[in-house]
Amino acid sequence: MSTQADDIDIGEEYKEKYGFSDDIKYLHTTKPGINEGVVREISKIKNEPEWMLNFRLKGLKHFQERPMPKWGANLGQIDFDNITYYMSPSEKSETSWEDVPEGIRKTFDRLGIPEAEKKFLGGVGAQYESEVVYHSLRKDLEEKGVIFLGMDQALKEHPDIVKKWFAKIIPINDNKFSALNTAAWSGGSFIYIPPGVKVDVPLQSYFRINAKNVGQFERTLIIADKGSSVHYVEGCTAPIYSTDSLHSAVVELIAMEDATIRYTTIQNWSNNVYNLVTKRGFAYKNATISWIDGNLGSKLTMKYPGVYLMEEGAKGEVLSVAFAGKGQHQDAGAKMVHMAPNTTSIITSKSVSKDGGRTTYRGLLEVDKGCHGIKSNVVCDALILDETSATDTFPYMNVNEQDVSIGHEASVNKVSDDQLFYLMSRGIEQSEAMAMIVRGFMEPFIKALPMEYAIELNRLIELNMEGSVG
Amino acid sequence: MSKLEIKDLHVNVEEKEVLKGVNLTIEQGKIHALMGPNGSGKSTLSFAVMGHPKYEITKGEIIFDGKNVLDLAPEERARLGLFLSFQYPSEISGVSLSNFLRTALNSVKYTKEKRIPVMEFRKLLMEKMDLLKIDKSFASRYLNEGFSGGEKKRSEILQMAILEPKIAILDETDSGLDVDALKIVSNAVNTLAGPEMGILIITHYQRILHHVKPDVVHIMYDGRIVKTSGPELAMKIEDEGYDFIYKELEKEV
């Protein structure tokens, strides 16, 4: 089929908008590779309490002993010795953009963060390589007792609450990469919402990798106390390099009785980043945790946000969208563990693969014995745009109770010549027709986002679709 | 005056010759009916004119306003003023009819730099929906998803009304077209036809011609137009079926 679509190289487009890099002088840079010396050095730079150093060392030990997971995507090419595990660009986290070093400030300007902050955010964190360089919270939220800090700062200012919950949701030995994060963690967000406080505007963090062969290991902990609610959003980008970087975060959520946490990710790493992230939340009585997880970038993503439904009436939701283009593998999904009766979970996964990209849905639904009255529904739809692309579905179920209501639907759709011809016969160019079909497919996900992010995501889809057909 | 001229058109579908030299001219402002038994190549002709990639033109020309359109992509043909109302339009999930119509209208009649203002489009859409007696809620439904046969026809006709093509081909070949859908199509043709639009109704069934009065009737048989005449031809087929045509053809052989 002939087409008028401009032959835009996606790499070029990404490069201009997000893929640029800065020439920054770093205050601290550890030698490439990870070992006890590096871990002790990171802890020393941060002037941490002894217990945290011990955590790190335990994490390192487990990381070194644990074999590489073989059950999923191909991780064999990660060169752990060639990665720099800690790089800090500035002395401390600032509360005014004016005080952020100019080069870095310009980057975040270019990414539109300060502008978004003014328009519709309640608080913002900005992390550059290993450290949070900027943090702010709207005054009225601060007055209500909301805490929104970089994780390192929280460890200094609120050590008791950090110590109480740190690695409680995701234990050190949960998996190889959560162990690595525990050893090398730096940055990330700490959020505490006091009882009954409803934060009606999103709090956002933006994660930026700038240097080559760098590892980013942020650690985020969100605690929503009884009857409170919060919506946290994270975005991420990096320059394009020919060698690989590693992003391996750990995110732990605690939703107390009647609390609601919504955690939205728009992941747009460049195509040389391994994105291996562990995300999990505990939802207590009548609490709700929703993960809205959009994966557009990275070379390989392995991420299965989970909700442990700890007490009656708890609700877990994962809405996952993955977009895999040339050279990308998005291995994403969800994990729902029903540990109490009358709990509910919903998993909706939508994936698109094109230009040889690959998407995998991998999900686990677990119901413990005696947990009656469980409701769970899993829907995963995949859309394949061409013959060279692929998708797989691995829905695991481990249900140990009879009195449950579980639904599961999966579909694989291909864009047909007839669909394209139909749209083109109405004057719509092939590339736009394809983008239209993809946007339509993603509609349920986009609808769940606040308007500003819906617009952003639509733009990203457009960017990913450009020059993709011909 | 726009004119669609099809000259000695030969079309292969999956290596098999389906059209074997079609000659047909349609002028703006005229209603043509193309009739013929199942399998005679009527739908193939409509797809070939619009440029479906599965239909391979092996010989002949399709000329629109003096320009050969064979090298043009479907979207370029649409921009010149050609339109095909599909018998089985595709379903596009998550894309509302109104969003789709606006994109289509922008593509056909506007440029990337100059788009139709949203309010102006809404006004136009409401006007056309009133004209065609289509319920307002229709516009927010996803394109053809879960539409009944009649609703699909409405959707196609609404697109035609918005895009205002110079030549529209309505593929209504399916003999299973229900009475409701038939009325929708014929009412719309009567409403939209005029000096600015040429229409080719493709039908197996003569029933539609009770509601629409064509200026010219063509009969297609085995990949060729074998007879062209006035509306009385349709009446004759109504009374006698296609048999008399087969007999005439046998005589020629």
DSSP string, A34-55: --HHHHHHHHHHTT--HHHHHH
Asked if A284 contacts A253 with a C-beta cutoff of 8 angstroms, the reply is: no
Q: CA B84 to CA A196: how far, in whole Å?
A: 59
State residue A1's pLDDT score: 36
The pLDDT of residue B240 is 83
- What share of residues in chain B are helix, strand, coil (percent, to 5)? 40, 30, 30
Interface-testing mutation among B72, B90, B101, B144, with chain A (most A C-beta atoms within 10 A): B90
Adjacent-strand bridge partners of A124 = A136, A204
Q: Taking Cα atoms as reference points, which of A263, A213, A205 lies closest to residue A238?
A: A213
Q: What is the pLDDT of residue B199?
A: 95
Buried b (16+ CB within 10 A) or exposed e, A183-203: bbbbbbbbbbbeeebebeebb
pLDDT value at residue A9: 43
Q: Which two tokens stand for residue A236?
A: 């991420």
DSSP A84: B
Give pLDDT tens digits for B85-116: 998 999 999 999 999 999 999 999 998 889 99
Rounded CA-CA distance A28/A30 in Å is 7
What's the sign of the alpha-carbon dihedral B211, B215, B221, B224? negative
Q: Chain A 255-284, CB below 8 Å of chain B: which residues?
A: none
Measure Cα distances from B95 to A432, A433, B57, B120 in Å.
13, 11, 32, 20
What distance, in Å, lies between the first and last C-alpha atoms of chain A?
7
Residue type, A130: S
Q: Shortest CA distance to B62 belongs to which of B8, B138, B125, B120?
A: B8
**Which pLDDT does position B174 carry in this prediction?**
67
Helices (H), A18-174: 36-45, 50-65, 102-110, 113-120, 139-143, 151-157, 159-165
**pLDDT tens-digit series, residues B161-176:** 999 999 999 998 765 6
Q: Which phi and psi (to 5°) does residue B83 adopt?
A: -145, 140
Q: Indicate the pLDDT class of residue B139, thresholds 50, 70 and 90.
A: very high
CB contact under 8 A, B54 and A428: no
Amino acid at A39: V
Q: pTM higher than 0.95 for the full model?
A: no
Q: Considering only CB atoms, which chain B residues are within 8 Å of A4?
A: 73, 75-76
Contact B208, B201 (CB under 8 A): yes
Q: What is the dihedral of CA B203, B44, A3, A299, to 10 degrees?
A: 100
Contact A416 B93 (CB under 8 A): no
Q: Which residues of B touch A428 (CB under 8 A)?
A: 75, 103-104, 107
Hey, what amino acid is at A2?
Answer: S
Residue type, B22: V
Written as tens digits, the pLDDT of chain A (470 aa) is 333 333 334 456 777 788 888 888 888 999 999 999 999 999 999 999 999 999 999 999 999 999 999 998 899 999 999 999 999 988 788 999 999 988 899 889 888 889 888 888 889 999 999 999 999 999 999 999 999 999 999 999 999 999 999 999 999 999 999 999 999 999 999 999 999 999 999 999 999 998 889 999 999 999 999 999 999 999 988 888 888 999 999 999 999 999 999 999 989 999 899 999 999 999 999 999 999 999 999 999 999 999 999 999 999 999 999 999 999 999 999 999 999 999 999 999 999 999 999 999 999 999 999 999 999 999 999 999 999 999 999 999 999 999 999 999 999 999 989 999 999 999 999 989 998 999 899 887 888 788 878 887 777 777 777 654 43
Q: Which two tokens stand for residue A372?
A: 């009656």
How far is A289 from chain B, CA to nearest CA, in Å? 26
Smallest Cβ distance to A425: which of B50, B92, B94?
A: B50
Q: How many CB pairs under 8 A join A and B?
A: 85
The topology under which CATH files domain B3-252 is Rossmann fold (3.40.50)
> Looking at beta carbons, which pairs linking B15-19 to residues 24 or more positions away fall under 8 Å?
B17/B58, B17/B223, B18/B44, B18/B223, B19/B44, B19/B45, B19/B48, B19/B223, B19/B224
What does DSSP say about strands A131-137 and B82-85: parallel, antiparallel, or unpaired? Answer: unpaired
The residue in chain A having the minimum alpha-carbon distance to the alpha carbon of residue B162 is A426
pLDDT at B3 over 50: yes
Hey, how many other C-beta atoms are within 10 angstroms of the C-beta on A74? 11
Region of A187 please: left (phi>0), alpha (psi -120 to 50) or beta: left
Beta carbons within 10 angstroms of residue B215's beta carbon? 15
Helices A50-65 and A176-184: crossing angle in degrees, nearest 10, is: 150
Strand residue runs (E) in B1-133: 3-13, 16-27, 31-35, 55-64, 67-68, 82-85
Distance from CA of A400 to the nearest CA of B (A): 37
CA–CA distance, A456 with A348 (Å, rounded to integer): 21
CA quadruple A174, A226, A338, A378: dihedral sign:
negative
**Cβ density class A153-178: b for 16+ within 10 Å, e for less:** bbbeeeeebbeebbbebbebbbbbbb
The predicted structure's pLDDT at residue A11: 57
Contact A4 B52 (CB under 8 A): no
pLDDT in tens, B61-70: 999 999 999 9
Cα(B174)–Cα(B182) distance, integer angstroms: 11
Question: Secondary structure of chain A: what % helix, strand, coil (to 5)?
Answer: 25, 35, 35
Q: Is A444 on the interface with B (CB under 8 A)?
A: yes
CB-CB under 8 Å, B50 with A427: no
Q: What pLDDT is stored for residue A12 in this prediction? A: 65
Residue A459 is predicted with a pLDDT of 78
CA distance A323 to A21: 24
pLDDT at A469: 42
As given in the structure block, the two tokens for residue A150 are 């970089």
Task: Tell me the domain boundaries of chain B.
Answer: 3-252
Q: Among all residues of chain B, which has the CA nearest to that of A427?
A: B75
Q: Which residues of B touch A444 (CB under 8 A)?
A: 94
Q: List C-alpha distances in Å: A233 to A266, A300, A407.
A: 8, 21, 29
Does residue A425 sit at the B interface (CB-CB below 8 Å)? yes
Q: What is the pLDDT of residue A118?
A: 87
- pLDDT in the model for residue A470: 34
Which residues, 6+ apart, have CB-to-CB distance to B119 below 8 Å?
A: none
Residues 6+ apart with CB under 8 A from A396: A362, A363, A364, A365
Q: Tokens for A374?
A: 């469980």
The radius of gyration of chain B from alpha carbons, rounded to an integer in Å, stands at 18
Whether A307 and A281 have beta carbons less than 8 Å apart is answered as: yes
